[in-house]
Amino acid sequence: MSEEVEEESEEIEEVVEEESEEIEEEPEELEEAVEDPEEENQSDVKLDEINIDIAEHMEMRRGFALGTLDSNGEPTEDGEPNPDFSWALFVHELTYDGDNLEMQTDAGFMTLTDEERNLVARRAQSIAGNVIGPHEDWDHTNYQRGLFLTISNGDNVLGSSRVFDVTEFTWHD
């Protein structure tokens, strides 16, 4: 009987040793699986830079629409409002999350015709794409594909891109 106990004890020791070796290896595997916080932070910084650039471009278009900026983007007190940029007045905020766009607007946006809403949404997508492309090293295909856009007023989703053609929109009247 003591031989059996001894054999069982040896088997248990072997299993414990194997398990211990596996446990020692796991931290290395876990370290590899965990994202590098520095890399994640760089990604956040990049998104912040992109969103700041988008906001600056949108602010310039609003300035053209209101006549507060001249054609060079310089402040002016006696400028003429430019109706070609009036669409930008409906875009309160345009943000990129790394994959998609979200446009914040107001309830007045829904008083526009579908054609006018589509125009506002497409121009916002275009501005964002022109800003994002160089930051993300886009190729021609990325520009053609475009970005999915969700249009909201606060937490209220007013519309969004269609899945197979992101430049077409579904409106939730």
3-class DSSP assignment, residue 153: strand
- Of 142 and 16, more confident: 142
Which amino acid belongs to residue 98?
G
3-class DSSP assignment, residue 108: helix
- H-helix or E-strand spanning residue 104: strand 101-104
Return the residue matching tokens 């053209």: 64
So what's the pLDDT on residue 5? 53
Query: Is a pLDDT exceeding 60 seen at residue 10?
Result: yes
DSSP state of 80: P
Lowest mean pLDDT among 14-18, 81-85, 138-142, 151-155: 14-18
Helical ranges in the chain per DSSP H:
2-33, 37-66, 114-136, 140-145
Strands 169-171 and 156-161: antiparallel
pLDDT level of residue 30 (50, 70, 90 thresholds): very low
Which amino acid belongs to residue 71?
S
Return the residue matching tokens 């905020």: 93
Strands 93-96 and 156-161: unpaired
So what's the pLDDT on residue 124? 97
Domain assignments of the chain as residue spans, ordered by start: 1-34, 40-171
DSSP state of 90: G
3-class DSSP assignment, residue 151: strand
Query: Is a pLDDT exceeding 70 seen at residue 17?
Result: no
Query: Is a pLDDT exceeding 70 seen at residue 35?
Result: no
- Of 28 and 104, more confident: 104
So what's the pLDDT on residue 57? 96
pLDDT level of residue 4 (50, 70, 90 thresholds): low
Query: Is a pLDDT exceeding 90 seen at residue 39?
Result: no
3-class DSSP assignment, residue 67: coil
Q: What is the mean pLDDT of residues 5-19?
A: 60
Phi then psi dihedrals of residue 167, to 5 deg? -95, 0
Output the average pLDDT for the chain. Answer: 86
Q: What is the mean pLDDT of residues 21-30?
A: 52
- Report the length, in residues, of the chain: 173
Q: What is the mean pLDDT of residues 140-158?
A: 94
So what's the pLDDT on residue 111? 95
State the angle between helix axes of 114-136 and 37-66 in degrees (0 to 180), rounded to the nearest 10. Answer: 140
pLDDT level of residue 107 (50, 70, 90 thresholds): confident
Distances (CA, A) of 106 to 22, 67, 81, 165, 173: 57, 21, 21, 25, 14
